[in-house]
Structure 1
Amino acid sequence: MKTRFLIAALICMVLACSENKMSSVEVASPDTDIKVSFNVNSLGSPYYGVEFKNKVVIDTSYLGFEFTDASAIDKNLEIVRATATKFDETWQMPWGEQIDVRNKFNQLTVELQETSELKRKLNVVFRVYDDGIGFRYEFPEQGGWTEALIKEENTEFNLTQDYKTFWIPGDWDIYEHLYSETKFSEIDAISKRDHPNLAQTYIPNNAVNTPTTLVGNEGLHLSFHEAALIDYSDMTLGVDNDNLKFKSILVGSENTEYKVKRNLPFDTPWRTIQISEDAPGLIESNLIVNLNEPNKIGDVSWFKPMKYTGVWWEMHLGKSSWDYGMEQVDGKWVDTGKAHGRHGATTENVKRFIDFSAENNIGGVLVEGWNTGWERWIGFPDREGVFDFVTPYPDYDLDEVTAYAKSKGVEIIMHHETSAATETYTKQMDTAYALMEKYGMHAVKSGYVGKILPDGEYHHGQYMVNHYNNAVEKAAKYRVAVNAHEPIKATGLRRTYPNAISREGLRGQEFNAWSIEIGNPPSHLPTVAFTRMLAGPIDFTPGIFNIKFNEYKEESQVNTTLAQQLALYVVIYSPVQMAADLVEHYEANPEPLQFIKDVGVDWEKSIVLNGAVGDYVTIARKERETGNWFVGGITDENSVTLEIDFEFLDENQMYEAILYKDGDNAHWDNNPLDIKIEAMAITNQTKLKVKLAEGGGFALSLKEKN
């Protein structure tokens, strides 16, 4: 009733606005806790503000655009009309963290027009949910203006306090930086310019990439991101340290003065602010997916969420290599008899992974390094035309491997490393996806390591946004699901294109294999859960059992306990979860392997039981179809004791539970393999205290007891 009154009152303001041209308009969330106001000042400059429970969260923040071929739209505007609507639906995820998703919001559409000579029109649309807001710009069809060449979008987020901020630099090429935890006023992205591994890093501004998460003095949590990134440039957030303000900075190109080129009419992506009184509320929010359009590709039952193994980790350890040892002669790869004998993707090696997967309830095997071109895949300026996405190396029999996998009930996951040579991949996409369709492969891991070709483009500019999204759309026609690495950010498009199953877009597990200096610290994943994971599924590749891997690289290690590696299957969400370690390391540890065999990947319901950004988090998930529950908890470099309340379980039901927790002497560095495994009975009345060691965690499986 209260919400209906607000909408009715707003309609009255709309009428007044149409007559007076200057009245402020506002819209509230369905529960009325969040309120957005909009107006133009005496100069005709549009601005908005956000309140949460009657306290200002976003103060007066101005909006506008700069163009390369026209004057800016940032003043001389008047409100022509404002329209309020409300919406409420429940839609279902074909795969995901839950089945049913409530999409309930109140919307305000504000139509603006210039009072100056050009009379250009611009709309701003706000959708206000109980868990945050999204707003976007609409450029309607209008006489005399058919094309927008956007030099910069100037969207402000004016904060009201010096928040504790969790951020990575506003890099135009990668998201593979460690998160920093500083006050907002102390953000210095430029000092993080030098990346220890990837040469294509480019950070031109003191800006941050999104999602960026902020924690206030009284516990208010905000996270800034974007949704529905289509045919536009990635948004970074420029930092005004002195005035505590974010301002959008779009990723550009060295080849054009504009950053975005669009024909009218068009809509921008949604600019989003998730708002929660605690950290768990951020993870449980569905704001990002809800701001995307419904499924456009129809039935996706051909894709099955799965665990997978693969020829990957052994290459990072140096046990084997991606390349075979061929030579390129007259543009073709030729076996000249100089094979080095260390190639990983051989028929026999892949069959070994297939056997292991079939025996351990693991549905797929990822094969990297199967195709010609790896000898010249990175660091070469003439990478275009190098990779062939249909021709295997001589020691990899594609027919034999796929037939053997099918006989074992295991699916081969294709791998397409493009080396960022985008024109080569674009030309071969149809042929490559058709090959997958022929062999019944329904998932591909794509990669874009290196500096983007053509020269002058960046991974996160409009050119590459379109490339990545076009690949997903084309793949759907061949019933192929895409797991993109070195990607654009996830912005909820998995709702519109459910074959966009997962992506990297963060500092992954492989950094631990390269050296201790650039490995991920224990605080990394408890931060990722409240930052990067808010954008969407993460292909992080957990499950490393040989934490120290001294047999290959004494100078490197994984900076967690073994128990935390198990917990990651629940905490870090993806519908494809890799058991990333070597077969022999799993075979030597059958007891902890049991959790990987049991744990689900597709969920009916997810509940965040506790958490603090950068410190610790515990998540419980109920598996679809089986009804089994799994719980995972992880912490940073500090030990913590957590009490788990199982009130989320069904009443009057006993569960057989197996707890995998840190041993009494466990420590991520000193004693990472110390693990204790206990069987117990649990009901919804149970309360369980679990101690997590430094850099540790716990994993728990619960099955109904008849």
Structure 2
Amino acid sequence: MKLKALIMLFLMGSVSLMAQKSYQLQSPDKKLQVVVTVGDDIRFSLTHDGTEVLAASPISMTLQDGSVLGANSKVSKVLKAAVDKTIPSPFYKKTEIEDTYNEMTFAFRGNYGLVFRLYNDGMAYRFTTKMKNDIIVVNEEAGYNFSSDHKTFAPYVNSQKATFEEQFMNSFEQPYVHEPITKLDSKRLMILPLLVELDGGKKLCITEADLEDYPGMFLNNLTDKPALKPVFAPYPKVKKQGGHNNLQMLVEEREGYIAKTKGTRAFPWRVFVVSEDDKQLADCDMVYRLASPCRVQDFSWIKPGKVAWDWWNDWNIYGVDFRAGINNETYKYYIDFASEHGIEYVILDEGWSVNLAADLMQVIPEINIQELVNYGKSKNVGIILWAGYHAFDRDMEKVVKHYSDMGVKGFKVDFMDRDDQEIIDFLYRGAETCARYKMMVDYHGICKPTGLQRTYPNVINYEGVHGLENMKWAANTYDMPLYDVTIPFVRMVAGPMDYTQGAMRNAIRKNYAPINTEPMSQGTRCHQLATYVIFESPLNMLCDNPSNYRREAECTEFIADIPTVWDKTVALDGKIGEYVAIARHHGDNWYVGALTNWDAREVELDLSFLGDGNYKMELFRDGINADRAARDYKKEIIPVPADRKVKVKMAPGGGWAAKIYR
């Protein structure tokens, strides 16, 4: 009996093996190759020029009716296509994007499919369905497997709570741990993007794109093997108002599924960006390429720019003859400052509406918004209003119409702190509603971008970053310069970042302290200046107060002049966690920025992208004493060398920034 059983098991295994079939697809440059195996399950593996990126990894989707898309799949059709086109990209780091890829589309019996897309810089896949009625997705499964225990740059959720259910509520802003996959904390969720260090110096950055009508993806390692698996927040079932100033909706109970959605649709892209050199990650267009095309016919009214910001500096202006605070006199001072420097906007952050009311139609008596809008208009400065999530969502149409009619230019919406299907639907509703009333929207307190800024270009920025606001309270053990030279290779792969830089109080490592009302930055003054070139941010804050900026005329003039959207971007050099250098072009000028961690560093930048001709360079470099007094800098105007080689020397926590012109 035992021998017979063994023979039967061998035969069953042989039949299963014989039933499997493999399909291959290469990138246009033939370096990336995906192998998709269809049998009892669906698995894919990915290699880059002989280097394993992902070992065979199973993928599937479970529906509430019990069907599992990916189990015992029967292929009915496989189509391959090669695409080579360009995508216009307004309000981005370049005016157009090359969209060149090879695609393999599977149709399976059961009215579902899979699409694999290979670019030279990465791979993406997504499920598709063609079902008549709505479907309920219980879960989307995957095991992203590795043959080696690679090190990662992994950001955990910033919730320390015990269960995933409690961790789903978080602000999506957290520094990175640099640990092997198996050493990651299996009891904590990790947010995207997440980076894996492969063999030979190559990198894999995992994220997602075209996230619509579906929850965002977390990652987790649940085993002692080098593998990552996705986790999704189930749909909210019971909620109550609460959280920060009563402006959030807290989930008390969730459904047994992650999404209820249309039966005929394409699901979000699972994105795997692969780089041979770290600097390639600092100029990646994958998420923008994969996003749904623009749905706004006329976007001529969308005006990116800079914002004089109040909250970080705690309205702490000085040298005036009125009491500073949340009042019209203070905001007129901000407007005057913005007007003097060609800064396009002033934001009224939290405090202008009645606290705890969660009602944006209730304005405190010290604020007259129409008066500020009119005053700003006379100075060519627009007004943007901060809005807590629930206050904005509870009567969105009325609120948006009211303030649009008043002349307000947009909203900064904050404290969503979730990315379940309900919140993702809110992001799209907010974008569409604001677009109808010609209003921009900056989504703060939310997950990383997934391409919504292409679909609705009035979505002008996203947070999902551990930005400079944290310097108001972060312990002196926190390392901000390290984070600053990590995010260009990880978080920024997903898209723009509402990082909110521009501090005029700057501290060397041992001198930093968190001071909520008069905050400072870590690193040098030139580090702050360079972030305006390095970080993508179409709506970019000047976080310090106008009184401080007026004492720092050279630096203020320089950062006020830097554009926020670009014609071209060139990633010059960099190594994740160590340093980065990027050049960006707008109009007639180039801007170049470089950042380092707490290590003093000298790098040579190749400016050959300038081409022929004579150029001048207005540069800001760390002063000789910047390692002692972080605010020390030197401004120079010099000719660009004929050989186009420029040596950049940076102090610990330092930076370097330049404007290049004819």
TM-score w.r.t. the length of structure 2 is: 0.88
Residues 553, 112 of structure 1: alpha-carbon distance in 2 compared, 3 angstrom cutoff: closer
Amino acid at match of 2:506: I
Give how far 1:216 is off.
2.1
Amino acid at match of 1:536: G
Match of 2:174 in 1: 177
Q: Secondary structure at the match of 1:467?
A: helix
The counterpart of 2:530, out of the listed 559, 564, 567, is 567
CA distance in 1, matches of 2:522, 2:340: 29
Contact kept, 8 Å, 2:620 with 2:658, in 1: the verdict is: yes
> Once superposed, what is the RMSD of the aligned Cα atoms?
2.3
Aligned pairs, number:
611
Match of 2:9 in 1: none
Q: Secondary structure at the match of 2:446?
A: coil
Give how far 1:274 is off.
0.4
- Confirm whether residue 632 of structure 1 aligns to residue 593 of structure 2: yes
Q: Secondary structure at the match of 1:435?
A: helix
CA distance in 2, matches of 1:425, 1:263: 26
The counterpart of 2:427, out of the listed 462, 465, 468, is 468
Match of 1:17 in 2: none
CA distance in 2, matches of 1:555, 1:682: 38
Contact kept, 8 Å, 2:194 with 2:490, in 1: the verdict is: yes
Contact kept, 8 Å, 2:476 with 2:513, in 1: the verdict is: no
Residues 300, 555 of structure 1: alpha-carbon distance in 2 compared, 3 angstrom cutoff: closer
CA distance in 2, matches of 1:557, 1:516: 12
Q: Deviation per CA, 1:247-278: give whole Å up to 9, x if none.
A: 21112243211111123112210000001101
Match of 1:618 in 2: 581
Contact kept, 8 Å, 1:345 with 1:368, in 2: the verdict is: no
- Confirm whether residue 63 of structure 1 aligns to residue 59 of structure 2: yes
Give how far 1:518 is off.
7.4
Match of 1:247 in 2: 229
Contact kept, 8 Å, 2:526 with 2:620, in 1: the verdict is: yes
Match of 1:696 in 2: 654
Q: Deviation per CA, 1:210-231: give whole Å up to 9, x if none.
A: 1111222311111000000000
User: Where do 5+ consecutive residues of structure 2 fail to align?
Assistant: 1-17, 158-166, 237-252
Contact kept, 8 Å, 1:169 with 1:189, in 2: the verdict is: no
- Confirm whether residue 510 of structure 1 aligns to residue 469 of structure 2: yes
CA distance in 2, matches of 1:600, 1:444: 21
The counterpart of 2:218, out of the listed 236, 249, 257, is 236
Q: Secondary structure at the match of 2:569?
A: strand
Give how far 1:526 is off.
0.8
Give how far 1:683 is off.
5.0
CA distance in 2, matches of 1:697, 1:442: 33
- Confirm whether residue 103 of structure 1 aligns to residue 99 of structure 2: yes
- Confirm whether residue 121 of structure 1 aligns to residue 111 of structure 2: yes
The counterpart of 1:666, out of the listed 585, 602, 626, is 626
Q: Which runs of structure 2 are paired with 1:24-63 in the superposition (5 Å)?
A: 24-41=22-39, 44-63=40-59
Q: Which runs of structure 2 are paired with 1:385-464 in the superposition (5 Å)?
A: 386-418=357-389, 421=390, 424-448=391-415, 459-464=418-423
CA distance in 1, matches of 2:368, 2:316: 25
CA distance in 2, matches of 1:216, 1:60: 16
Residues 479, 646 of structure 1: alpha-carbon distance in 2 compared, 3 angstrom cutoff: same
Match of 2:549 in 1: 586
Contact kept, 8 Å, 1:414 with 1:436, in 2: the verdict is: no
Amino acid at match of 2:119: Y
CA distance in 1, matches of 2:516, 2:435: 40
Contact kept, 8 Å, 1:502 with 1:538, in 2: the verdict is: yes
CA distance in 2, matches of 1:188, 1:272: 23
Contact kept, 8 Å, 1:516 with 1:556, in 2: the verdict is: no
Q: Secondary structure at the match of 2:453?
A: coil
Amino acid at match of 1:691: K
Residues 241, 696 of structure 1: alpha-carbon distance in 2 compared, 3 angstrom cutoff: farther
Residues 285, 176 of structure 1: alpha-carbon distance in 2 compared, 3 angstrom cutoff: closer
Q: Secondary structure at the match of 1:629?
A: strand
Contact kept, 8 Å, 1:371 with 1:390, in 2: the verdict is: no
Residues 468, 343 of structure 1: alpha-carbon distance in 2 compared, 3 angstrom cutoff: farther
Match of 1:23 in 2: 21
Give how far 1:373 is off.
2.4
Give how far 1:684 is off.
5.9
Match of 1:328 in 2: none
Give how far 1:647 is off.
0.3
Residues 318, 47 of structure 1: alpha-carbon distance in 2 compared, 3 angstrom cutoff: farther
Amino acid at match of 1:441: V
CA distance in 1, matches of 2:543, 2:301: 24
Match of 2:185 in 1: 188
Residues 593, 426 of structure 1: alpha-carbon distance in 2 compared, 3 angstrom cutoff: closer
Residues 518, 444 of structure 1: alpha-carbon distance in 2 compared, 3 angstrom cutoff: farther
Contact kept, 8 Å, 2:316 with 2:325, in 1: the verdict is: no
Give how far 1:60 is off.
0.9
Amino acid at match of 2:25: V
Contact kept, 8 Å, 1:512 with 1:519, in 2: the verdict is: no
Give how far 1:557 is off.
3.6
Contact kept, 8 Å, 1:57 with 1:160, in 2: the verdict is: no
Match of 1:538 in 2: 497
CA distance in 2, matches of 1:225, 1:487: 15
- Confirm whether residue 356 of structure 1 aligns to residue 315 of structure 2: no
Match of 1:331 in 2: none
Contact kept, 8 Å, 1:108 with 1:125, in 2: the verdict is: yes
Amino acid at match of 1:405: G
Residues 184, 157 of structure 1: alpha-carbon distance in 2 compared, 3 angstrom cutoff: same
Q: Deviation per CA, 1:614-671: give whole Å up to 9, x if none.
A: 1110110001xx321111111111111111111011312x22211111112223xx42
Amino acid at match of 1:165: T
Greater CA deviation, 123-132 or 594-603?
594-603
Amino acid at match of 1:246: L
Match of 1:371 in 2: 352
CA distance in 1, matches of 2:514, 2:33: 58
Give how far 1:547 is off.
2.5
Match of 2:564 in 1: 601
Q: Secondary structure at the match of 1:469?
A: helix
Residues 483, 189 of structure 1: alpha-carbon distance in 2 compared, 3 angstrom cutoff: farther
Q: Secondary structure at the match of 1:603?
A: coil
The counterpart of 2:198, out of the listed 213, 216, 232, is 216
Amino acid at match of 2:145: N
CA distance in 1, matches of 2:515, 2:57: 54
- Confirm whether residue 677 of structure 1 aligns to residue 635 of structure 2: yes
CA distance in 1, matches of 2:641, 2:211: 44
CA distance in 2, matches of 1:265, 1:354: 49
Contact kept, 8 Å, 1:303 with 1:442, in 2: the verdict is: no
Contact kept, 8 Å, 2:317 with 2:324, in 1: the verdict is: no
CA distance in 2, matches of 1:294, 1:387: 34
Amino acid at match of 1:468: L
CA distance in 2, matches of 1:222, 1:189: 20
Give how far 1:551 is off.
12
TM-score w.r.t. the length of structure 1 is: 0.83
Amino acid at match of 2:619: L
Give how far 1:515 is off.
4.2
CA distance in 2, matches of 1:304, 1:28: 40
CA distance in 1, matches of 2:108, 2:324: 61
- Confirm whether residue 268 of structure 1 aligns to residue 277 of structure 2: no
Residues 439, 573 of structure 1: alpha-carbon distance in 2 compared, 3 angstrom cutoff: same
Give how far 1:354 is off.
0.8
Give how far 1:520 is off.
5.0
Contact kept, 8 Å, 1:93 with 1:100, in 2: the verdict is: yes
Give how far 1:58 is off.
1.3
Q: Secondary structure at the match of 1:167?
A: strand
CA distance in 2, matches of 1:295, 1:686: 39
